[in-house]
Amino acid sequence: MKFTVKEIAQVIGGTIEGNADAVIDKFSKIEKGEEGGISFLANVKYTPYIYTTKATAVLVSSSFQPAHPVPCTLIRIDDPYLAFAKLMTFYQEKRQKSGISSFAAIAEDVKMGKNVYIGDFVSIASGVVLGDNVKIYPHCYIGENVTIGNNTTLNAGVKIHHECIIGNNCTLHAGAIIGADGFGFAPQQDHQYMKIPQLGNVIIEDNVDIGANSCVDRSTMGSTIIHKGVKLCNFIQVAHNCEIGENTVMAAQCGIAGSTKIGKNCLFGGQVGVNWHLTIGDNVQVGAQSAVSHNVKDNAVLLGTPAFNAGDCVKSLTMFKYFPSYANRIADLEKQVKELTEKLNKK
């Protein structure tokens, strides 16, 4: 798919310096630019590359002033990074597929909006409702009475179990599983476990991203809820009856135990673990590999295992590496105290 620099500038609202008729057919990193490619400059440490890049066009800040002549066409925009993301989204939308595969298994009563794409070997059960522009890639499964909103994309191998609700403008990446049974078992006197039926569902609101091979379990009763704007990376586990507030972001391999409520605008690093039945406030930041075992107030910044105030944790970690020398010094002091005590006792 090819676009001129002029067409690209019109899409993102940029100003051109250079050849407006140059043709762009690919995206490129600025340091590895290719002819016909478009790149962006947002981080100052990459500035030297703009004088050597082979990319045909580069998005730059409106305030950028080159120190030397540049070999490429510039498109000036207030936020090059955001503009580049919008441009990639525009390109992705232009190349999306349409139509319904003859190899798909679709129940007779499924309701579909306009411009729906359904790929090979997709299975859609009875009672499903699909909004406009829904894209369902091969090998997906959609269970009974699932509702999927407008402009939502299910990448290959996504599974959505019965009664779940997916909002508008969501993206579920390959292998994500929504609405599998929560991990509920009741211990018995003979040390065996009786399975507790999971009778609720999962509600995913608008503008949510769920990463590849992530799991959001259905609730025992009621709903597991992922509020609007949440972004979950790959390999994340959200257990039954959890609630994640709007615009919260989690990096890969986070695990959230059952019935935990997480506020809005939180940031979780990779491999964060959160215990069950906790309440995490708004605007909370948790560093990578931290283990949260207690309720957390708004605006807290946590680090460590178990997680505690990030500043205190950094100070503790700084001291920790000196513990061997501290131990030796303490041993020397104990030896000196013993010797002094023995001398005093002899007097």
Q: What is the pLDDT of residues 37-81, one digit of tens each?
A: 999 999 999 999 999 999 999 999 999 999 999 999 999 999 999
State yes or no: pLDDT of 172 exceeds 80. yes
pLDDT at 77: 95
Task: Report pLDDT digits (tens) over 1-38.
Answer: 789 999 999 999 999 999 999 999 999 999 988 999 99
Q: For residues 306 and 156, what is the distance between their CA atoms, to the nearest angstrom?
A: 37
Same domain, 289 and 193: yes
Same domain, 75 and 194: no
Q: Which residue has the tokens 């999962």?
A: 202
Q: 295: domain range?
A: 99-311
Mean pLDDT of the chain: 94
The answer to whether the CB of 9 falls within 8 A of the CB of 84 is no
How many domains would you assign to the chain? 2
The residue among 94, 127, 149 that closes a domain is: 94
The answer to whether the CB of 36 falls within 8 A of the CB of 53 is no
User: Using 50, 70 and 90 to split pLDDT, how confident is the model at 341?
Assistant: confident
Residues identified as active-site: 240
Task: Report pLDDT digits (tens) over 293-313.
Answer: 999 999 999 998 888 788 888
> What residues form DSSP beta bridges with 225?
203, 243
The residue among 32, 65, 94 that closes a domain is: 94
Asked whether residue 319 is assigned to any structural domain, the reply reads no
Q: For residues 184 and 86, what is the distance between their CA atoms, to the nearest angstrom?
A: 42
Asked whether residue 286 is assigned to any structural domain, the reply reads yes
pTM exceeds 0.85 for this model: no
Task: Report pLDDT digits (tens) over 316-331.
Answer: 877 777 888 888 888 8
Which of 28-37, 118-127, 275-284, 313-322 shows the lowest mean pLDDT across its residues? 313-322
State mean pLDDT over 238-256. 98
Same domain, 70 and 135: no
Query: Measured between alpha carbons, how far apart are the two ends of the chain, in Å?
Result: 97
The residue among 69, 94, 119 that closes a domain is: 94
Asked whether residue 129 is assigned to any structural domain, the reply reads yes
Task: Calculate what percentage of the chain has a pLDDT beyond 70.
Answer: 99
Looking up residue 32, the CATH number of its domain turns out to be: 3.40.1390.10
Same domain, 50 and 131: no
Region for residue 331 given its phi and psi (left: phi exceeds 0; alpha: psi -120 to 50; beta: otherwise): alpha
Asked whether residue 331 is assigned to any structural domain, the reply reads no
Q: By three-state DSSP, how is residue 269 classified?
A: coil
Same domain, 49 and 187: no
Q: How many residues make up the chain in this entry? A: 347
319 or 110, which is more confident?
A: 110
Same domain, 23 and 154: no
Same domain, 201 and 56: no
State mean pLDDT over 206-223. 98
pLDDT at 145: 98
State mean pLDDT over 243-252. 98
Asked whether residue 327 is assigned to any structural domain, the reply reads no
pLDDT at 246: 98
Asked whether residue 323 is assigned to any structural domain, the reply reads no
Same domain, 128 and 269: yes
State yes or no: pLDDT of 235 exceeds 90. yes
Asked whether residue 318 is assigned to any structural domain, the reply reads no
Same domain, 215 and 118: yes
User: Using 50, 70 and 90 to split pLDDT, how confident is the model at 282?
Assistant: very high
Looking up residue 108, the CATH number of its domain turns out to be: 2.160.10.10
pLDDT at 346: 78
The phi, psi pair for 108, rounded to 5°, reads -65, -30
Asked whether residue 339 is assigned to any structural domain, the reply reads no
User: Using 50, 70 and 90 to split pLDDT, how confident is the model at 347?
Assistant: low
The CA-atom distances, in angstroms, between 211 and each of 76, 91, 95, 107, 344 are: 32, 21, 21, 28, 71
State mean pLDDT over 253-281. 97
Same domain, 151 and 173: yes
pLDDT at 184: 93
Same domain, 73 and 111: no
Same domain, 135 and 29: no
Running DSSP on this structure, what letter comes out for residue 68?
S
